[in-house]
Amino acid sequence: MPLPSILEGKLRIPVIAAPMFLVSGPELVIEACKAGVLGTLPAANARPASEFSVWLDRIEAALADAPDAAPYGVNISVHRTNERFDEDMETIIRHKAPVVITILGKPDKVVQAVHGYGGIVLHDAATERHARNAMAAGVDGIIALAGGAGGHTGWQNPFSLVREIRRFWDGCLILAGAISDGYGVRAAEVLGADMAYMGTRFAATAESLAAPEYKRMMVESRAGDILLTDRLTGINANYMRASLEAAGFDIDKLLAGDAPAPSEVLESVKAWRDLWSAGHGVSLIDDVPRTTDLVARLEAEYRAAAVR
């Protein structure tokens, strides 16, 4: 499947460094793009909202000096609870952000606005129904969010999810969920995806905004240390057990659904800020490299996987 023309020939390997709340900042985006993968960040990470434009200025200035760099992308929630939606969309349109990744709702309006200046829209889909809705909205790419992912995860096995979406979608398809090395990137392609979407692996890089202790916990954790719960934000997400224990959670109660309701819990600790998310891909993380070195390693693995 061809990539959208805006990405064609622009990537060293077919990888998106996925947007991560409180974790992806301008440095990670700049280094990812310079290394040849699509670097992205959530608009919501820039605070206050006026800072978002300052971040995009910084990214654009850095990439202007790197003619071989990949384009960058931004992430915006299209859910009605996103109070910054209008302001962030104005910034996106003013900057003509090349790639816009939408989550949680209908991306129709964003598609119209972004196509207006020649950008593309990718939309998260954890189910076949989400994917059909995204297709109807006219998106340029669908992110198949499978089980085991960091952040708000999908649940479906990637083998069935990718093949199911491929039955009706022949556009750009991107697989997300526990892809942490170049073998996974190649496997995603073999399955029928065009690109891999990698969050957790890029959270454990020198340039990510995650605290040093967060990065260390990713190195020390394995898939068995990842807990899936909807008790913290109301939506299923994967967290590292050790960060929940450090915040004083009774894990058994949490898993039994006995934990206090989200609002009560979140008075003292905050999901994402104090309760650290990561996916099953932590099993493959043993270090905190510079992004440029990580991408070089991903490329070597991706090429090695092709000749097996």
Ligand X SMILES: Cc1cc2nc3c(=O)[nH]c(=O)nc-3n(C[C@H](O)[C@H](O)[C@H](O)COP(=O)(O)O)c2cc1C
Interface with ligand X (CB under 6 A): 18-21, 23, 42, 75, 103, 124, 145, 149-151, 176-179, 197-200, 203, 277-279, 281
Query: What residue type is 86 in one-letter code?
Result: D
Which of residues 13 and 178 has its CB atom nearest to ligand X in the complex? Answer: 178
Tracing tokens 């206090």 back to the chain, one arrives at 260
Which of residues 110 and 145 has its CB atom nearest to ligand X in the complex? Answer: 145
CB of 205 to ligand X, least distance (A): 12
DSSP 3-state of 306: helix
Which of residues 149 and 227 has its CB atom nearest to ligand X in the complex? Answer: 149
Give the residue nearest to ligand X (CB).
Answer: 199
CB of 206 to ligand X, least distance (A): 16
Which of residues 99 and 253 has its CB atom nearest to ligand X in the complex? Answer: 99
Distance CA 30, CA 169 (A): 31
Contact partners, residue 271, CB within 8 Å, separation at least 6 = 232, 233, 237, 239, 277
Residue 230: what are its φ and ψ, rounded to 5°?
A: -105, 5
CB of 44 to ligand X, least distance (A): 6
Which of residues 155 and 253 has its CB atom nearest to ligand X in the complex? Answer: 155
Contact 156, 147 (CB under 8 A): yes
Distance CA 209, CA 308 (A): 36
Which of residues 3 and 43 has its CB atom nearest to ligand X in the complex? Answer: 43
Which of residues 59 and 179 has its CB atom nearest to ligand X in the complex? Answer: 179
CB of 28 to ligand X, least distance (A): 12
Distance CA 194, CA 203 (A): 22
Tracing tokens 């300052």 back to the chain, one arrives at 54
Structure tokens at 28: 């990670």
CB of 146 to ligand X, least distance (A): 8
Distance CA 91, CA 88 (A): 5
CB of 192 to ligand X, least distance (A): 18
Which of residues 148 and 258 has its CB atom nearest to ligand X in the complex? Answer: 148
Contact 277, 151 (CB under 8 A): yes
Tracing tokens 């990744």 back to the chain, one arrives at 101
Alpha carbon 127 to its chain centroid, in Å, reads 17
Query: What residue type is 240 in one-letter code?
Result: M
Neighbours of 116 (CB within 10 A): 10
CB of 273 to ligand X, least distance (A): 10
CB of 258 to ligand X, least distance (A): 25
